[in-house]
Amino acid sequence: MEGEGINRIIGLLSSKTNLKILKILMEGNSYPRKIARKINKTEGVVVRALKSMEKANPCHIQISIQ
């Protein structure tokens, strides 16, 4: 079961979109619409990425989709 979590995290980190989202969130709180504008993606793409990150959250970091 641990291996599945690691594979999921590696998959998330292999996405350029996910890395851009994480970089923005490291700067501070943001909203999916604002992130989407910054990275030139749809709000739906950002929400799906955030939900995937939330599901794979190994460190129990709070990821809030507002």
What pLDDT is attached to residue 17? 96
Is residue 46 a part of any domain in this protein?
Answer: yes
What pLDDT is attached to residue 34? 97
Q: Residue 50: how many CB atoms within 10 A of its CB?
A: 20
Q: Are 49 and 25 in contact (CB under 8 A)?
A: no
Question: How would residue 59 be classed by pLDDT, with cut points 50, 70 and 90?
Answer: low
Is residue 65 a part of any domain in this protein?
Answer: no
Helix boundaries (H) for the chain: 2-13, 16-27, 32-39, 43-55
Q: Measured between alpha carbons, how far is 27 from 34 in angstroms, rounded to an integer?
A: 13
Is residue 36 a part of any domain in this protein?
Answer: yes
Quote the domain boundaries for residue 25: 2-55
**Domains contained in the chain, number:** 1
Is residue 60 a part of any domain in this protein?
Answer: no
Question: How would residue 1 be classed by pLDDT, with cut points 50, 70 and 90?
Answer: very low
Q: In this predicted model, what pLDDT tens digit does every residue of 7-40 receive, in sequence order?
A: 888 888 899 999 999 999 999 999 999 999 999 9
Q: Are 49 and 18 in contact (CB under 8 A)?
A: yes
Is residue 34 a part of any domain in this protein?
Answer: yes
